[in-house]
Amino acid sequence: MVSTQCSVVISRNSAIFWRLDGVEATGSWQELSAALASLESVKVEALLLPDSFSLHSVAFIEAEKKMLAKTVPFSLEDELAEDIEECHFALGSAGEGTVQVAVVNQVWLRSVCQLAQEHGIVFESFNTCPMPESMAYWVPMNDQSTVLLTPDHAVVLDKRQVATVQGVLAELPCRVAPLIDSVDVWPELSGFETDKSFFTSPLLQVDGIDLMQGEFRKGIAWGSIWRAWRMPAIAAMLLVVALIAQSWWQVSLLEARNVEYRVAIEDAYRQAFPKSRVVNPRRQMESRLSNLNGAGGSTGSNMLSLMSVLSQEPQAAGLQISAINYESRASELRIDILADNFQQVERLRSALKARGVEAELQNSSASGNKVRAKLSLKEVG
């Protein structure tokens, strides 16, 4: 986005002047704010005329260079009509042993900055009007007063004083730079070369002193940043809220599933071990399975291997197994069988023996037209 540049000249004894898109005008802060309202991005550069500040040169030694901001006010205390507590000191670039200092009334400067902010105007820069290097400049501000700038002085004069001062400048080239085109060049200044406007004069090609120091240091223009990034920020905020809501929903769903799984695990454990007290069903089940697998170096039969042999035996397919019990101490699997006849039980017992399983008939009895039998299974070896 290309920024439009607006130059504003501020005077203590006159209205403000500005140049915007090549058009120069004078008026109030409210009028300037209205002129800027239709523009999306504006870079406002402010310039303070010498009728609002005094310029001083302060000598220092190299050891004081880093402490100039603190020592300069006391160095100028005797030269100022105001107390140093009432003044704002802006330091220019330090030369060899000297530094230029602009002094402005602190309360007045603060009121100017606050007035501009109240109208939505933020200064990109705020400098003093530069002093000419080898020429005198007359800057008419209105029909009655003008600023005279020389390499050494800056004064505000009215028409009655111009003729008196002109004689003093006889050997110094002079130039007139009116602030706005609507102010005709005074007849008293008609003998000098005239620029089209103060805003385009060579005078402004030289930098002044930056006033945005100390408490007036430029901060972050949060208002401008918010206007530029408002919509992306709102979109990002909505996205973050949506992501948080989605994460919360997923966590809630997972927590609900976790509760369901824990209840299912406890139910499965209670069905498998109805007489056991439930403390930690998962760990208890792992412990039980470990025992059934003969973990810990136990010898002899184990439940899972015996069950595997039994499930693979074709002779067991036609039988109804009504109960299974495992005795871990004896490494013995006990099964209750319901068969059509006793011969089916014997064929199963013989087949298991052939598979390396010791099958002992503990008892048998007739039940209607069926035979009930109980076998005790152990691995041989």
pLDDT digits (tens, 9 = 90+) for 150-199: 888 888 888 888 888 887 887 888 899 888 765 677 778 877 888 888 99
pLDDT at 132 over 80: yes
Residue recorded with tokens 């997923």? 250
Assessment of whether the complete model's pTM goes beyond 0.85: no
Tell me the pLDDT tens digit for each residue of 291-329. Answer: 666 554 444 447 778 888 888 888 888 788 888 888 877
In this prediction, residues 346-373 reach a mean pLDDT of 87
In this prediction, residues 28-49 reach a mean pLDDT of 90
- 320/308 Cα distance (integer angstroms): 16
What pLDDT, on a 0 to 100 scale, did the predictor assign at position 30? 93
The band of 227, judged by pLDDT with boundaries at 50, 70 and 90, is low
Percentage of the chain surpassing pLDDT 90? 22
Are the beta carbons of 207 and 127 closer than 8 angstroms? Answer: yes
Tell me the pLDDT tens digit for each residue of 252-297. Answer: 999 999 888 888 888 888 887 777 788 788 788 777 777 666 554 4
Q: Which CATH architecture has domain 4-219?
A: 2-Layer Sandwich (3.30)
Are the beta carbons of 53 and 208 closer than 8 angstroms? Answer: no
Q: Which CATH class name applies to 293-379?
A: alpha beta
pLDDT at 242 over 60: yes
Query: DSSP characters for 108-141?
Result: HHHHHHHHHHHTT--EEEEEEPPPPSSSEEEEE-
Assigned token pair, 352: 């298991």
3-state helix, strand, coil in the chain (%, to 5): 40, 30, 30
Between helix 29-36 and helix 106-118 the angle, nearest 10°, is 40
Tell me the pLDDT tens digit for each residue of 77-88. Answer: 888 888 999 999
What does the domain layout of the chain look like in residue ranges?
A: 4-219, 293-379
pLDDT at 354 over 60: yes
